[in-house]
Amino acid sequence: MNKNPQEDREFRRKQNRLQIGGLALGLVAAWIVGSLLPALPQRFTWMTVMLWGAALGASLFGWQSYERAGKALTRSGNRWLNTAVGAGIPFGALLLLGWLLGGRA
């Protein structure tokens, strides 16, 4: 974390812009993939395909947030490790939640 609140605010604004751009790009990519593979929206519905596209796009463009979260846990300067640990946090939480609620994750 930055000790300067101004730098922290600028980082969050930049990340928000990147994630919104990734969300839009993910929506377009999901629409294209759904159009090219008609079995996908038939199996899941268009809304689900678009939702996953937007979520993946925003996640891929917001990788620096994962790195920052991982660095808070590992206290390491290794960017790959920090990104992997940071990305594992939401996936681990979802797996734990799925296991607790339904036994199937």
Per-residue pLDDT of 13-39, as tens digits, reads 998 999 999 999 999 999 999 999 999
**What is the extent of the structural domain holding 28?**
1-61
Contact 91, 71 (CB under 8 A): no
Q: What is the pTM of this model?
A: 0.70
Q: How far apart are CA 91 and CA 105, in angstroms?
A: 11
- Residue 45 shares a structural domain with residue 1: yes
- Residue 82 shares a structural domain with residue 40: no
- Residue 78 shares a structural domain with residue 45: no
Q: How many domains does the chain have?
A: 2
pLDDT-flagged residues of the chain (< 70): 1-2, 103-105
